[in-house]
Structure 1
Amino acid sequence: MDSPEFLSTSLHTMTCLEVPVHLFGAYCILFKTPISMKSVKFSMLNLHFWSVFLDLAISLLTSPYVFFPALVGKSLGLLEYFNVSIPIQLYLIVTLFPTVGVSITAILENRFYLLFARDTFWKYLRIPFLGFLYLASWCCFIPSLLNIPDQKEALEEILEKMPIILKYANVTEIFVLSTDYREFFFTLIIMIALVTVTSVTFAFLLHWNMKKRSKLVNVSIHTLHLQKIFFTAIFIQTSMPILILIFPLNYLAFSMFTEYFNQAINNICFIITAFHGLLSTIIMIIVHKPYREVFYIVFCEKVLRILKLKEGSVTYSMSSLSRPT
């Protein structure tokens, strides 16, 4: 489990599973979103796009083989075969994580704005606010990438502390992002905190305003019930994949602060992270009734129909055999 072959095989196998599921999810959003969900269609498509992009970036494009706690590793993915530089591959990976988080904030903000803030000052601030979050996601790691050390000196320093790395890769294959993890790690913590706080804030505002609205006499009970169902579905869709990422992030923090090295767990962390988008798409299809019905019609009904036809043909064959000649 600590070998590069195990990691690449696992990630590329996941790609084969992810692509058809993601395509079906995109089909549902684009063509099967009902009029009642039209207002959130773009936000859902935006979240789906970035989640899929993160999935494929890890499992197919880069397949990072990283030796945490050192910020050292190599690429096993498709971009390596096209000679794309390691810093560009790094930039792609590290920016997609916070971008997915901002997309989750955007979908919650969209619901809050449409339901409760259309006639408030927030309508003037929402676009600059979301623009700032996306810009921060795309720019926050640029200082780390601009300060990439001299590879020869950095490798000597890293190998003095962790000579075990040579067991897993040749010196000519590995790339050192930094000899000091603190700048990179604290930038990651700041972005995670920013995205988490904003997402939780909008989730709280939605819940609080719905609770407040439920006490009003002139509000339709049916409309309020539908809004609560949709909010619950959105909450499940956005929170469950985040829970998947808790283990990799906690292990990353533990590994860096204790200098604990275990390449098998490093590999598993990236496999779990790559599973994030697949889980997000599956949950989206399950929790939203229109998409769930499309899945049932496209797959379940056809399977049942085929089984019935086979059962009918078997029955007919048995009856024909039992007839006297």
Structure 2
Amino acid sequence: MKSVKWSLLSFHFFSCFWDLGLSFLTTPFIFFPALAGYPLGILKDFGVKNEHQLYLMIVSGAYMLVAIVIVFENRLLILIGSNKFWRRFRIPWFILHFIVGGTFFIPTYLKIPDQEMAKAYFRRIAPCIPLYVNDDLVFVAVIETRFLLRAVGLLMLGGFLEIWTMAYLTDRMLGKQINLTMSVRTVELHRKFQKAFILQLIIPILIIIVPVIYVGISCFVFYHNQLLNNITLIIVASHGFFSTIVMICIHAPYREFTVLLFTVVIRVRGENTSSVGPLRSNVIT
């Protein structure tokens, strides 16, 4: 666990920041199938422009995927630490990932359409906008979202292929390390941690996969349903909640600390209640 603490910390940071951004910093009210809407979060009150908030959330989501890849690379590095080629190549490899994650949205960002024309077109493809929506606040970043969806899809596919490859190589290397440089118990601990981390990733992904599929279908067929849009954002913004629950359930150190924390809180409350009770009875007497 100690060997991957920094990579895990970066993953938890980007994961928490992304969830915090969706639920508190930006709180977007989006009108799929177009990438249009307006923010309701605290950054709006500080005067941060809509396009800057959008860029921040897109890039933080990409960096969260990069952080996941780095965790699995770190696990593999423990087993192939003597490989001089990979030790030299990994830093440029990291830098390339962060560059791609931070720049893939720039072409879309630079082509944000004229807002008056974009809003007129948006009203035609989404005529059933709720009456409580203020058209003046709506920001249209992308009308034709298919190109952006392809770019995001390729980025996610590349990331998941890297994750699968590294997880597979790590498992193969662990099998070869038994009785060579590691004991059977050490290998089992490595495998247990890897399986737990994979579960921590898979379960939240399975929960949000249906909303993601809906967004893709909505953008490709130009279907607008604001109720489904709102439900989609609520589920996606709950990614961190589900990830935390899974983490507590499958990682023994987190689970033991959580149980200890709740035990201490309950005990302190019980002591406060018992100490206040006699005091109240004496005052009444």
Contact 2:146 2:220 in 1 (8 A): no
Residue of structure 1 equivalent to 2:166? 202
1:304 to partner: Cα distance: 5.5
What secondary structure sits across from 1:295 in the alignment? Answer: helix
User: Which AA in structure 2 matches 1:119?
Assistant: N
What secondary structure sits across from 1:260 in the alignment? Answer: coil
User: Per the alignment, do residues 305 and 260 of structure 1 end up closer, same or farther by CA in structure 2, a change over 3 Å counting?
Assistant: same
| 1:62 is aligned to 2:29 | no
Residue of structure 2 equivalent to 1:229? 192
User: Which AA in structure 2 matches 1:254?
Assistant: I
Structure 1 CA distance for aligned equivalents of residues 17 and 27 of structure 2:
13
Contact 2:50 2:139 in 1 (8 A): yes
Moved over 6 A (4+): 308-311
1:245 to partner: Cα distance: 2.8
1:161 to partner: Cα distance: 2.3
Structure 1 CA distance for aligned equivalents of residues 2 and 211 of structure 2:
35
User: Which AA in structure 2 matches 1:134?
Assistant: F
Residue of structure 1 equivalent to 2:235? 272
Q: Deviations over 1:85-140 (max 9, x none)?
A: 10001101111212111111111110110123443421111111122112111111
Q: Which of 241, 245, 253 is the matching residue for 1:282?
A: 245
User: Per the alignment, do residues 307 and 155 of structure 1 end up closer, same or farther by CA in structure 2, a change over 3 Å counting?
Assistant: same
Q: Indicate the RMSD between aligned Cα atoms, in angstroms.
A: 2.4
What secondary structure sits across from 1:177 in the alignment? Answer: strand
Contact 1:47 1:107 in 2 (8 A): yes
Identity of aligned residues (%): 36
Residue of structure 2 equivalent to 1:122? 86
User: Which AA in structure 1 matches 2:250?
Assistant: V
Q: Which of 186, 210, 213 is the matching residue for 2:177?
A: 213
1:218 to partner: Cα distance: 6.6
| Structure 1: 5+ residue stretches without partners | 1-36, 317-325
Structure 1 CA distance for aligned equivalents of residues 120 and 185 of structure 2:
67
| Structure 2: 5+ residue stretches without partners | 279-285
| 1:296 is aligned to 2:253 | no
User: Per the alignment, do residues 52 and 62 of structure 1 end up closer, same or farther by CA in structure 2, a change over 3 Å counting?
Assistant: same
What secondary structure sits across from 2:137 in the alignment? Answer: coil
Residue of structure 1 equivalent to 2:214? 251
State the TM-score, normalized to the length of structure 1.
0.78
Q: Deviations over 1:137-192 (max 9, x none)?
A: 11110110100111111111221222222635222110111221122211111111
| 1:81 is aligned to 2:48 | no
Structure 1 CA distance for aligned equivalents of residues 23 and 106 of structure 2:
23
Residue of structure 1 equivalent to 2:3? 39
Structure 1 CA distance for aligned equivalents of residues 250 and 175 of structure 2:
22
Structure 1 CA distance for aligned equivalents of residues 3 and 198 of structure 2:
17
Structure 1 CA distance for aligned equivalents of residues 97 and 3 of structure 2:
21
| 1:103 is aligned to 2:62 | no
Structure 1 CA distance for aligned equivalents of residues 96 and 240 of structure 2:
24
1:241 to partner: Cα distance: 2.5
Structure 2 CA distance for aligned equivalents of residues 86 and 218 of structure 1:
54
Residue of structure 1 equivalent to 2:134? 170
Residue of structure 2 equivalent to 1:50? 14
Structure 1 CA distance for aligned equivalents of residues 125 and 194 of structure 2:
50
Q: Which of 238, 243, 267 is the matching residue for 2:201?
A: 238
State the TM-score, normalized to the length of structure 2.
0.89
1:291 to partner: Cα distance: 2.2
1:198 to partner: Cα distance: 1.1
What secondary structure sits across from 1:167 in the alignment? Answer: coil
Contact 2:79 2:174 in 1 (8 A): no
User: Which AA in structure 2 matches 1:47?
Assistant: F
Question: In terms of mean alpha carbon deviation, does 229-238 or 298-307 score higher?
Answer: 298-307
Report the number of matched residues.
278
